[in-house]
Amino acid sequence: MAITKTKAPAFHITGEVGWINDPNGLIYYNGQYHAFFQHHPYDTKWGPMHWGHVVSEDLTNWKYLPNALTPGGDGDKNGCFSGSAIVYDGRLWLLYTGFTENQGGDSIRQLQCLAESSDGITFKKHGIVIGEDDLPEGYSPSDFRDPKVWRHGGLFWCIVAARKLDGRGRILLYKSADLFKWEFVGDLLGKDSAGIMIECPDYSEEDGYLLFCEQFQPSENGLHLNVHTCRFAIGKIDYSRGVFKEESRGIVDYGFDVYAPQTFAGKPVMMGWLNMWDRNIPSEKYGFAGMLTVPRAVSVRDGRLYQEPIVNSTEVYKTEVSERLEDRVKVGVITVVATSLEALTLKLRSGGDSFTSLTLCGNEWVLDRSKSGEAIVGVEKDEDSLKGIRRMPFSGKSAVTLTVVMDEFSVEIFEDGNSLTSTIYPPEGADSLELTVKAEGCVYRRADVTLKA
Ligand code: FRU
């Protein structure tokens, strides 16, 4: 099917046309940041997965390269699923999941494949390197995917999401001396996940955190309302025992639309899929579906994952706000710095009957996208989800910095290291902004994203 892209976000990664989901193989190689992503270039729906590929020097301006992986090879006949990258011996290596559908159901195979490149553009496939025989007994080769690779203590290590035949999601640890031959080491968490399956595990040895997503799971008394949830767990792997020593855990994002967050190999910079499974994506009519979040600097503070957006931008407007301020902005970075904050409402992308609002309500920020524009309908049936609401804790600090990264189809809201991310599909011309605030002092700043022609 021939499709063309008629509208696009200004600086968020999408496919050149068609569908994208998870970020894959995020890495710095030969002087550029490389981001790959799950991609179906021939339709705006998920299909046979390719690895799309973009590169950047500043993490804001991205350039398309040819697709890095195309399904059809030995072990990846029906799709090149998610995975990661590592630089070794001057070359760029991709470890990813080869998907073979066979007759469906239990005959599906998801096994780990290797590819290499010496120019970072064209890749040579080596086929399956972690196969069915490398799974410990009792695990399903039909749900075994999304390897994350790194180096530690002179060896390669990788974690892969798996499912017990009589249970739920697990994360398995493997080691290798050469990237080709892998040995099972341990079941990292040692117990079933709450969701039916785990996806896209990620680990930072330097900063000590594990990221993973769970599919279809209870909301844990409203702690997370998305049925597919991304978690962080702070702690470190005990390599000798093959277990993760967890200190604390939480959710990666409080909004509607982050999935499969991954960090750049060896760098504390994370990106996620800025969408969610099991929802309609109104941008299909513009020839694309799916975006990636802005890159985020991540660190561990007070036992949680702390995120700050990385956007190459230039300040264009700064003013003190006594009570109320009006502005116009569709694409840009808004920062509100307030002291002794008592009340705040930010109305974004407003025009006609449409707007998106963020309101400070007691000890939480409340995002309302019910009037944002085109309706997004998901499988969640709780009251907040049906009303287009998501909530994020408010730090309550005496000096507050609120940052909102805005693009055509998204808002990413940050306060005290927490993030709340959502897609929105406003009508043309909905670009008014209104800030009302009650605080001892408040400064509003708007920055333009620095885009190359
Ligand atoms: C997560 C996921 C992965 C899989 C990929 C397929 O969003 O389901 O587990 O590798 O997407 O596109």
pLDDT score for 199: 98
Q: 366 has which bridge partners?
A: 359, 391
178 C-beta neighbours (distance < 10 Å), count: 10
60 Rama sector, left if φ>0, alpha if ψ -120 to 50, beta otherwise: alpha
Residue whose CB lies within 8 A of the most ligand 1 atoms, among 146, 170, 292, for a mutation test? 146
pTM, whole model, 2 decimals?
Answer: 0.98
318 DSSP β-pair partners: 445
| Per-residue pLDDT, 453 | 78
Instruction: Give the Cα separation of 110 and 113 in Å (integer).
Output: 9
List the strands of the sheet with 91-100, edge to edge. 79-88, 91-100, 109-117, 124-130
Per-block average pLDDT, block size 10, for the chain (453 residues)?
A: 92 98 98 98 98 98 98 96 98 98 96 98 98 97 98 98 96 98 98 96 97 93 92 98 98 98 97 97 98 98 98 98 98 98 98 98 98 96 96 98 98 98 97 98 98 89
* Termini Cα distance of the chain: 30
Contact 392, 365 (CB under 8 A): yes
Q: Work out the burial of residue 138: count CB atoms within 10 Å of its CB; fewer than 13 is exposed, 13-18 middle, 19 or more buried.
A: exposed
pLDDT number for residue 2 = 83
Query: What are the residues whose beta carbons fall under 8 Å from the beta carbon of 302, sequence distance 6 or more?
Result: none
Which residue is it, tokens 């996940």? Answer: 193
Q: Which atom of ligand 1 is nearest to 22's Cα?
A: 7
Q: Does the Cβ of 22 fall within 6 Å of ligand 1?
A: yes
**38 pocket-lining for ligand 1 (C-beta < 6 Å):** yes
Does 200 sit in the ligand 1 pocket, CB within 6 Å?
yes
Q: Is the CB of 260 under 6 A from ligand 1?
A: yes
- Distance from the CA of 336 to the center of ligand 1, in angstroms? 36
CB of 198 within 6 A of ligand 1: the answer is no
Rounded to whole angstroms, how far apart are CA atoms 93 and 120? 9
pLDDT for 179: 98
Q: How far is the CA of 81 from the centre of ligand 1 (A)?
A: 6
Residue 256 CA: distances (Å) to CA of 34, 243, 370, 379, 410: 26, 31, 12, 12, 11
Q: Is 275 in the pocket of ligand 1 (CB under 6 A)?
A: no
Is residue 22 among the annotated active site residues?
A: yes
Report the pLDDT value the prediction gives residue 219, as an integer from 0 to 100.
Answer: 86
Nearest CA among 292, 338, 376, 257 for reference residue 21:
292
Counting DSSP H helices and E strands in the chain, the numbers are 1, 33
Dihedral (Cα; 212, 213, 219, 223), 10-degree rounding: 50
Q: What is the pLDDT of residue 74?
A: 86
| pLDDT, position 1 | 60
Residue identified by tokens 């920055």 is 447
What domains can you pick out in the chain, each with its CATH number?
Answer: 18-300 (2.115.10.20), 313-449 (2.60.120.560)
Task: Look up residue 449 and give its two tokens.
Answer: 């994203």
Dist. CA 20 → ligand 1 center (Å):
10
Q: How many Å lie between the centroid of ligand 1 and the Cα of residue 152?
A: 26
Give one DSSP letter per residue of 127-145, joined into a string: EEEE-GGGSPTTEEEEEEE
